[in-house]
Amino acid sequence: MTANAPMPEPALRVRDLQVAYGTPRGSLQAVDGVSFDLAPGESLGIVGESGCGKSSMGRGLMQLLPPGAAVGGSVLLNGEELIGVDAGRLRRARGEDIAMVFQEPMTRLDPLMRVSKHFVEAIRAHRPEVSKADARQMGRDILAQMGIPPTRADNYPHEFSGGMRQRIMIALGIVLQPTVIIADEPTTALDVIVEAQILDLLDRLRTDENVGLLLITHNLGLVAETCDRVAVMYAGRIVEIGPVVDVFANPRHPYTQGLLRSVISIETTKLVSIDGTPPDLVDPPAGCRFAPRCAQAFGDCTTVDPVLADVDVGHRAACLLQTGSYPQRMGVTA
Amino acid sequence: MTQPDVVMDVRNLSTWFEQSGGLFSRGQHQSVKAVDGVTFDIRKGEIFGLVGESGSGKTTLGRTLLGLVPATAGQVLYKGQDLTTLSEKAYRPLRRHLAMIFQDPNASLNPAMTVVQGVGHPLRIHGLASSRAEVRASVAEMLERCGLAPATNYLDVYPEDLSGGQKQRLVIARALITRPEFVVADEPVAALDMSVRAKVLELMMDLKDDLGLTYLYITHDLSSGRFVCDRMAIMYLGQMVEWGDAALIYDDPHHPYTDALLDAVPLPDPSRRDRQKRLPSGEIPDALSPPRGCSFHPRCPVARPDCGWGGRDLIDALEHRWTRVDADTFERELDMVGDLAGASADAATLRLPGADAEQVRSLLTTIGSTLSPSLVDAVVAVEPDRGDTVVVFGFGPEPVGQDVAGRVVACHIHGVTRRPDGKHGGRVPTQG
Amino acid sequence: MAAPERPPAPAAPVAVAPSRRELIRGRIDHTFKPWRKANPMARRLVIVGVLMTSVFAVLALLPSVVAPYAEDQYRYIAGTTDNPDGGEARVDCVAVGCEQLPRREAPSSAHPFGTTSARFDVMSRIVHGSRVAFAIVILSTGLAMGIGVPLGLWSGYRGGKVDRILVTLMDAVYVIPGLLLAIIVAFVLQQYFDPGLASATVAVGVVYVPQYYRVIRNHTLSVKEEPFVEAARAIGASPRTIVTRYVFFNVVQSVPVIFTLNAADAVLTLAGLGFLGYGVPFPQAEWGLDVSQALSDVVAGFWWTAFFPGMAIMLLVTGLTLIGEGLNDIVNPLLRLKGFKGKVPARARTNAQTAGGAAEPSDGAGQ
């Protein structure tokens, strides 16, 4: 996206999202001020390792957090604020406007209910005016789109394989034509061929139905192959965000650089890792959170907290090396 | 030509699990053939990769080699001794030479033992250290080798206080502390973060050189296999479909499944994302009733008529087609095949109750090209029989491994072969 | 699904190998970890329960300090509270002058809980009864543990025919209502042995063997499937080593919970036995026995002879139950972080700002 193109209204606009959990040691700030936009039909990959907060962020967006967790900030879905809204509106939003696809589909499907019934219930919960017969047909149509034959639409969840269950989950998520799909590690439990099929499917959905896709994953290969933009998270914050081609070709944040170097692919000739461990999020260190592990850290890095700033068109990084010693506040660009 | 030093010689190994018919079983008392007649060898000092997806049998094969799961048939020869004939008790002294590295670092360590107790336990069991001080010293030395330094910081800690990467190093230390000869590494880095994997893999490879180890590296991740393995085998539904020199296989796969796997692996390079990928349809079939002939044929993009097509394949192909046509066509075609829910298929035939043979024949002719390649070509007859229609399939043998281009492949593309005790599809030709 | 993994740090550097004492300290620290992680409500339950139980424990340990009279004392030497029938030397009551305790006296300053129809001081009976209650409860649950736990471990790990037989046997015993079973056992034992501490212990203990067996067996079945048990096989450990060093310590954490809940139940069972006359024989102090003896008093309007033993039973059972429930919540938490709340920094409430689209902060900067 160039700076001069007219900005379409973002499907999802997240500003300063915060998620905190209560622990015996104190409040753990899992997500510490994350902001991004998601345009309709765009696919944004959120990438990071365990403990970076990406899953918490995904759940925070849908407010599907365990009791004792707190959410703050602003989430605008098609211009409407979701944080702090009443439970009824939230329930309607989940399903009609945002769909979530999780890692373990079997745990989300009712084993005692036929698959077609899942659809009938989901559709009629949001649109009671739809008749049962129509809802069943809608369900079959969408299942067929996902590659589940109509002759099997009345089977029980356990009669399907893992990959097919994930397709059913996706179908359930999109049957009401949401604007945004949040997929949290949707293919981690699946084998690589089925993974490629599912991602193909999500991609088709995106282009055909203009649905925005937020793909949360630790697999950089997936992001490279399917996403338009990518946001790299570390210790609860986004440290780099930009078009996938740019970020992969020219990573500006030392963590991104280290991460990309450490990925093992078919073409790897050398094994590289990042030393050290992520910081404690109950009591995070001052300054840049990656500084203790960063080979390029200098004096100010442990005292000044870097903000995301432009390093290229549409490409931002939170690193003092890239943006100088002075923290700059800039308007948000998509 | 000198024979390379063989550490493990596996011959026709099978591991079957009996599936007792529960309340909801489909009626047949079946066994799951987790490992189905596998033959290969592992040479000293090499890293032999076992690549496959979940359900391929690779994990079971690794465990069978180490006697953690009893073999149903075949032999595992270690230094001339057949390990499958040993009782659990007789096997135990050998375990100091045959080690295993497990996948999940969070669950592979005894939470009730400190690091020194847990990692040092093998020394105690095999009498390799006589006093507490000796155990402590050996464990400390091993920890330092595994990158946990200074070791004194870790010795009296409980595993739950450590990170995933550190725990996995403990698992490695425990496996190698008795200086084994052969190590089975079952997805050793799958549960670790990307940035930590490289370090742990590097550790394993360094230790291999230092301690003179031989690895069986089991993984579903083809990406790491390329860098790590000397030779490898690709497994599908309990059988090896292609095996040999790893670099050869990666550069020039000769089995359609290997091809598909390599295509499907995502590359962390956005500039290559639009490359051509030939992905097979469907998923790994149910291990309780695997396809006849070649197990991969229902999904294979280059399948031939003699790959083992059968009745179930026809039903699956029809259902797949019906997801892509409109409701009217679906209804019309469904009528033509009679009572699909009551259809029964065996190795050679598919019986469609209440269907008209003419209609079925014409349906197959019309839509044949939209179904799986070669499926309709495999049909040799469509006959009426007592009010039903019977679709008869031609012979489809199960392939055997053959030497092709420097590796071994089990695929009819390179020449039709026949496994004597295999599960063949289609009508067996009378002339044998 | 809850909080993300907390990145750990290895222990502080230690120059030399830790001493034996430090190792034990470390082990104790490790054992008490669940306590520190537990939610405040569970801890409160345990503390209250411990306080209540320890009152009775003190009474049980130091009966003569609290109780002015012996349990079966019906008269005293004038001017003192000594029991002329209690010592080794026979005291000549005619010479010294003994007085009888009042009969059925209401609670007063001399007898805070009153006296019974047999001229026993109720408070002394309660105190001595504590001793009996504690002794029998500890011994019987100890017996039940000693039989149930090893059987459960072996049965769970080995499986096979032995397991099936034991499960059937234990289920059969479990099905019989506790008190009824205790009565049957006590009855049978009394044919061969004198009624007393030992027979009551066995009668009460037998009732709880199936519980330990079942819980340990089930836990063993699941721990058996854990990767670290397979790893133990892979390094060549014998089944005995696996059970004692790998399985046992990982299933034993359920035991304290069952122990306290069983102890609570055992007090009731013992009281029931005593009530029916199958416990320790009269005139030994036992709360259930006292209640049964007080039945006729209640009808006549004398409430204190039944009330106080009944209260004692109730309080001790409640105390033990609170400990058990609290421990259960600590050892098997439903949601480990229940009771802890996350706090989001105040600046996050920027809902009002975002609607307009004016210059917004780009993302959270450290403040």
pLDDT of residue A7: 59
Q: Do A271 and B271 count as a contact with CB atoms less than 8 A apart? A: no
For residues B149-156, give the mean pLDDT. 87
Tell me the CA end-to-end span of chain B in Å, nearest whole number: 38
- Give the residue-averaged pLDDT of A238-259: 93
Q: What is the pLDDT of residue B27?
A: 55
For B125-145, what is the mean pLDDT?
92
Q: What does the pLDDT look like over B402-418, one tens digit per residue? A: 999 999 999 999 999 99
The residue extents of the domains of chain C are 38-66+120-331
Q: Is it the case that residue A267 has pLDDT exceeding 90?
A: no
CA–CA separation, B19 vs B29, rounded Å? Answer: 7
How far, in Å, CA of B334 to CA of B317, rounded?
13
Concatenated DSSP letters for C96-133?
A: HTEEEPPSSPPS-SSSTT-B-TTS-BHHHHHHHHHHHH
**Residue A317 forms beta bridges with which residues?**
A240, A309
Q: Which fold has domain C38-66+120-331?
A: MetI-like fold (1.10.3720)
**Predicted local distance difference test score (pLDDT) of residue A5:** 56
**Residue-level pLDDT at C351:** 39
Hey, are the CB atoms on B322 and A144 less than 8 Å from each other? yes
pLDDT above 60: residue A213? yes
- Can you tell me the mean pLDDT for C10-23? 55
**Residue C228 at interface with chain B, using a CB cutoff of 8 Å:** yes
SS3 track for chain A: CCCCCCCCCCCEEEEEEEEEEEECCEEEEEEEEEEEEECCCCEEEEECCCCCCHHHHHHHHHCCCCCCCEEEEEEEECCEECCCCCHHHHHHHHHHCEEEECCCHHHHCCCCCCHHHHHHHHHHHHCCCCCHHHHHHHHHHHHHHCCCCHHHCCCCHHHCCHHHHHHHHHHHHHCCCCCEEEEECCCCCCCHHHHHHHHHHHHHHHHHHCCEEEEEECCHHHHHHHCCEEEEEECCEEEEEEEHHHHHHCCCCHHHHHHHHHCCCCCCCCCCCCCCCCCCCCCCCCCCCCHHHCCCCCHHHHCCCCCCEEEECCEEECCHHHHCCCCCCCCCCC
* Residue B432 predicted with pLDDT over 80: no
Angle between helices C255-276 and C122-158 (to 10 degrees): 130
Please say whether the beta carbons of A213 and A42 come within 8 A: yes
* Least trusted range by pLDDT, from A39-43, A173-177, B151-155, C22-26: C22-26
- Chain A's closest residue to B299, CA to CA, is A193
Q: Which residue has the tokens 């609570």?
A: C264
CA distance C74 to C70: 9
Q: How many residue pairs from chains A and C have C-beta atoms closer than 8 A?
A: 136
Query: With contact defined as beta carbons under 8 Å apart, do C323 and C263 qualify?
Result: no
**Residue B45 above 90 pLDDT?**
yes
Beta-carbon contacts of A126 under 8 Å, excluding residues fewer than 6 positions away, are A92, A95, A96, A176
Closest-CA distance, B98 to chain C, in angstroms, reads 8
What is the structure's pLDDT at C331? 77
Chain mean position to CA B74: 17
Q: What is the CA radius of gyration of chain B?
A: 25
Instruction: Identify the closest residue of chain A to B275 by CA–CA distance.
Output: A225
Residue C22 has pLDDT above 80, yes or no: no
Nearest one of C162, C145, C155 to C243, comparing CA atoms: C155
For residue B304, give the nearest of B315, B312, B293 by alpha carbon: B293
Highest mean pLDDT range out of C18-27, C223-232, C326-335?
C223-232
Is CATH 3.40.50.300 the classification given to domain A12-97+178-323?
A: yes
Q: Which residue has the tokens 């069978």?
A: B64
Kindly give the pairing relationship between strand B214-219 and strand B47-52: parallel
B110 with C245: CB under 8 angstroms? yes
Cis peptide before B150 (omega within 30 of 0): yes
Contact between A165 and A105 (Cβ < 8 Å): yes
How would residue A6 be classed by pLDDT, with cut points 50, 70 and 90?
A: low
Q: What residues have CB less than 8 Å from C109, skipping those under 6 apart? A: none
Q: Return the residue in B25, B56, B58, B193 with the most chain A beta carbons within 10 A, the one to mutate for interface testing.
A: B193
Instruction: Check: CB of residue B155 under 8 Å from CB of residue B140.
Output: yes
For the cut 60, the answer to whether the pLDDT of residue B320 exceeds it is yes
Contact C269, C121 (CB under 8 A): no
CB-based contact, C230 to chain B, within 8 Å: yes
Residue A233 has pLDDT above 90, yes or no: yes
Tell which wins on pLDDT, C268 or B327. Answer: C268
C-alpha distances in angstroms, C1 versus B193, B397, C227, C264? 17, 48, 21, 36
Residue contact A68–C363, C-beta within 8 A: no
How much is the mean pLDDT over chain A?
84
Whether the per-residue pLDDT at A171 is higher than 50: the answer is: yes
Instruction: Find the residue in B nearest to A147 (Cα).
Output: B323
pLDDT tens digits, one per residue of C258-274: 888 889 999 999 999 88
Closest-approach residue (CA) in chain B for A259: B195
State the span(s) of chain B assigned CATH 3.40.50.300: 6-19+30-251
Give C-chain residues touching A56 at CB under 8 angstroms: 4
- What CATH class has B6-19+30-251? alpha beta
* Mutation site for C-interface testing, chosen from B110, B136, B168 by largest number of C Cβ within 10 Å: B110
Residue B21: band (very low, low, confident or very high) from pLDDT cuts 50, 70, 90: low
* Cα–Cα distance measured from residue B364 to residue B374, given in angstroms and rounded to the nearest whole number: 12
The β-bridge partners of A217 are A47
Is pLDDT at B223 greater than 90 in this prediction? no
**pLDDT of C354 over the 50 cut:** no
Name the strand (E) or helix (H) holding B135. Answer: helix B132-145
- Taken in order A294, A296, A298, A304, is the CA torsion positive or negative? negative
By CB atoms closer than 10 A (0-12, 13-18, 19+), residue B175 is buried
Distance CA C363, CA C346 (A): 15
- Coil, helix or strand for C198? helix
- Return the pLDDT at B20: 65
Query: In B, residues 123-182, which contact A (CB 8 Å cutoff)?
Result: 163-164
Choose among B208, B196, B129: nearest CA to B172.
Answer: B208
Structure confidence at residue A25 as a pLDDT band (50, 70, 90) = confident
Q: Give the per-residue pLDDT at A4.
A: 52
Residues B371 and B379: their CA atoms lie apart, in Å, by 13
**Cα B336 from Cα B362, distance rounded (Å):** 10
Q: What is the per-residue pLDDT for C17?
A: 57
Nearest Cβ partner for B267 among A225, A244, A274: A225
Band the pLDDT of B3: cuts 50, 70, 90: low
Separation between Cα atoms, residue B308 and residue C18, nearest integer Å: 67
d(CA C34, CA C28): 11
* Per-residue CA distances from A107 to A101, A104, A158 (Å): 12, 6, 11
Residue found by looking up tokens 């369900």 in the block: A139
Cα A30 from Cα A260, distance rounded (Å): 23
Q: What is the mean pLDDT of chain B?
A: 88
Give C362→chain B minimum CA distance, Å.
Answer: 27
Beta bridge partners, C308, equal none
**Does residue A41 come out as left (phi exceeding 0), alpha (psi in the -120 to 50 range) or beta?**
left
Q: Is the pLDDT of residue B423 over 50?
A: yes
CA A290 distance to own-chain centroid = 22
CA of C225 vs chain B CAs: smallest distance (Å): 10
ipTM for the complex shown: 0.85
Of A323-332, C91-100, C144-153, C275-284, the least confident? A323-332
**Chain A contact for B280 (CB, 8 A cutoff):** yes
Who among B194, B223, B277 is closest to A259 (CB)?
A: B194
Classify the C-alpha dihedral C229-C234-C238-C241 as positive or negative.
Answer: negative
Contacts (Cβ under 8 Å, ≥6 apart) of C33: none
Q: Out of A201-215, B314-328, C77-91, C278-292, which region has the weakest mean confidence (pLDDT)?
A: C77-91
Cβ pair B122:C235 closer than 8 A: yes
Q: Give the confidence band of C5 by pLDDT, cuts at 50, 70, 90.
A: very low
**Better-scored residue on pLDDT, C78 or A50:** A50
- C-alpha B215/C-alpha B43 separation (Å) is 9
pLDDT-derived band at B8, boundaries 50, 70, 90 = very high
Residue C40: closest CA among chain A residues belongs to which residue? A24
List the domain boundaries for chain A.
12-97+178-323
Among chain A residues, CA nearest to B200: A273
The pLDDT value given to residue C357: 32
> Average pLDDT in the B275-297 region?
83
CA B14 from chain center: how many Å?
Answer: 13
**Residue B233 bridge partners (DSSP):** B50, B243
pTM, to two decimals: 0.83
Average pLDDT over residues B74-88: 92
Which A residues, 260 through 299, put their C-beta within 8 Å of a C-beta on chain B? 260, 262-269, 271-274, 277
- Residue C314 φ/ψ, nearest 5 degrees: -60, -45
Asked if the model's pLDDT at residue C9 lies above 50, the reply is: no
Best mutation target among A9, A12, A14, A15 (most C Cβ atoms within 10 Å) is A15
Question: What's the pLDDT tens digit per position in A93-148?
Answer: 877 788 888 877 677 788 899 999 999 988 888 888 889 998 998 888 888 888 88
